[in-house]
Amino acid sequence: MSSAGTRPLRKDAERNLRRILDAAKEVFATRGLAVTMDDVAHHAGVGVGTVYRRFANKDELIEALFVEQIEALAELGREGLALADPWEGFVFFMEGALDRQARDRALKELLFESGHGQERVAHARETLAPVVTELVERARAAGQMRPDVEGQDTPVMQMMLATVVDFSRDVEPQLWRRFLAIVLDGLRARPGQEPLPLPALDEAQLDVAMGAWRGTRPGSHR
């Protein structure tokens, strides 16, 4: 990816890059990934040529944002791991991640709908997946989460709940909190629980399912 570059940037170039990324985050958050490079340049207060000097096309800009968003979610997960109570740490992550998606139209598209390539999938797995898995395993080990829930279940639950964000955005933007509470209640370990009917998807199955699902979404970014 040529966007962020590997060579050191001059201070003015660093400032311009940061302005572009911040502007892209803001305009994508309110309007989704359908915005143009011209829109980003206007919001950043720079010429569109400045944007294209840093990013060859919109795909590269989206790639840079994806990396930042994944790293921010991983940091959120690490904050959850720092909490003494394992269940509260898991809830902290789930609530925080969904709250970000509710406030940022582009985040859900970046995570679940845009046709990101293998490098982005690998980055997500290497950065975020181990943190999420540790959150789940810690809550399981404490006897707070049912024993047949796996880390790979978490992105599927996030995707399910993210659809509630879109569904109710214009009538009750916080409705996702109701359904998150329902999901969390179902994840709690209780005596005499029946086992779940199917195992979690493994990583390869999850990649295939996510790729196929993205391909069915109208307006998916390619």
Are 127 and 209 part of one and the same domain?
A: yes
Over the chain (222 residues), what is each successive 10-residue block's mean pLDDT?
Answer: 52 81 88 89 90 89 85 96 99 96 82 63 79 98 98 93 90 96 98 95 87 61 43
Give the per-residue pLDDT at 63.
84
Are 73 and 145 part of one and the same domain?
A: yes
Look up tokens 């859900």; give the residue: 108
Domain boundary among 11, 34, 56: 56
Give the per-residue pLDDT at 2.
47
Are 103 and 117 part of one and the same domain?
A: yes
Give the per-residue pLDDT at 209.
85
Give the per-residue pLDDT at 221.
46
- State how many domains the chain has: 2
Contact partners, residue 137, CB within 8 Å, separation at least 6: 151
Give the per-residue pLDDT at 109.
77
Give the per-residue pLDDT at 121.
61
Give the per-residue pLDDT at 131.
97
Domain boundary among 10, 40, 56: 56
Question: What would the two tokens of residue 50 be?
Answer: 């400045």
Is 222 part of any domain? no
Backbone φ and ψ for 33, nearest 5 degrees, come out as -80, 0
Are 36 and 69 part of one and the same domain?
A: no
Is 4 part of any domain? yes
Give the per-residue pLDDT at 114.
61
List residues bridging with 188 in a β-sheet: 145
Domain harbouring 11, CATH code:
1.10.10.60
Give the per-residue pLDDT at 212.
79
* Residue-number span of the structural domain to which 40 is assigned: 1-56
Are 94 and 113 part of one and the same domain?
A: yes
Are 167 and 108 part of one and the same domain?
A: yes
Are 86 and 43 part of one and the same domain?
A: no
Domain harbouring 76, CATH code:
1.10.357.10
Give the per-residue pLDDT at 217.
54
